[in-house]
Structure 1
C-alpha cells in the first residue's frame, strides 16, 4: 500500500505500520471517538517519546497474550491512521481533491 504524505511524497506500508503501532500504544480507544487532531497528537507523542522504544514490545506482547483483542485493536488503529493521515494528505494534494 502506498500513501501520500502532506508534502505529496509517496510513503509505503512500513510507515502505515509504524503509525498504527504508535497509535496502538496510546490510551486512545475506539469508544473515545477521537478526532483527527487527537489521533495525530497521540501518535506523534508516542513516536517522539521514550514510549516508542517499548511500543513494539507492547504490541507483540498483546498479540501473544490476547490475539483476538490485538486483532480488533490493531485493525482499529490501522483504519484510524488511514482515515486521519491519508485524508489529511489527500486534502493537501490539489490533484487528489479533484478525483
Structure 2
C-alpha cells in the first residue's frame, strides 16, 4: 500500500477522517496477514514509511503507525503519505541455555 491521504475533506469532521484512515490501514494489514505464506516463512513482517505534507518519507516501526498519524493530525497537516509493504519474516530460534545457566534460574 502506497497512498497519500487527505486530512481535510469537505463535509467530514477531521476526527472521523482520521478514524477512516486508521480503519483503512488496519483493513489492509489484516488482509495482508491472511494471505498464504510461502514455504519456509513463519509470518508476514511490514516495512513502513511515513511522511507529512510534502516531506521525504522516513522509515518507521510498524507499531508507530497510529502514533505518527495522530501526530500529523495534531499538527494540522493537510496530507500524509503512508507506505506499508509486506515482507516474509522468519523467526530466529531462541538460544539454548547451558546447564549452569538453567540451575541459576
- Greater share of helix residues, 1 or 2? 1
TM-score (norm 2): 0.30
Please, what TM-score do these two structures have when normalized by structure 1? 0.32
Structure with the larger strand share: 2
